[in-house]
Amino acid sequence: MQPSMEFLTPEESAQVDEALLTSKDKFSTRLAIYSLRCLRQIARETGLALEEIPAEQVKTWIQKDESLKQNLDIDANFENFFTRLVIASLSPLKQIAQESALPLQDLTVQQVVKWFEKKGKIK
């Protein structure tokens, strides 16, 4: 499998693990990174902007994602739940893009991790 298609690459996982985050924030960070990758791929395949991708496209992606199938027991309930999580992660991703003055598709893993760290310190 290509590294870009894994849930998180070892390097991405290391960046999240090294961050000063609570377990909840690490989960949210990992989800945001996965979601960004997923949405970018869907955008490339469909020509849609990341912000315009409908939930059904995300669900189809999740159904096809081999990295999820290898690591999780996926059924229809999980697909619906995870689709909602991916769509919900658009909110912090949009905030990160806005604060970074970058288009959503140009965000980096490091920017996502740093934003969640900063957010965690504010709490």
Q: 1 pLDDT exceeds 50? A: no
pTM above threshold 0.85: no
Q: What is the 3-state secondary structure (H, E, C) of 51-107?
A: HHCCHHHHHHHHHHCHHHHHHCCCCHHHHHHHHHHHHHCHHHHHHHHHHHCCCHHHC
- pLDDT 10s digits, 30-54: 999 999 988 999 999 999 999 899 9
- pLDDT 10s digits, 60-119: 888 887 777 676 667 778 888 888 998 999 999 999 999 999 999 999 999 999 999 998
pLDDT band at residue 2 under the 50/70/90 scheme? very low
Which pLDDT score, from 0 to 100, does residue 123 have? 62
Which pLDDT score, from 0 to 100, does residue 4 have? 38
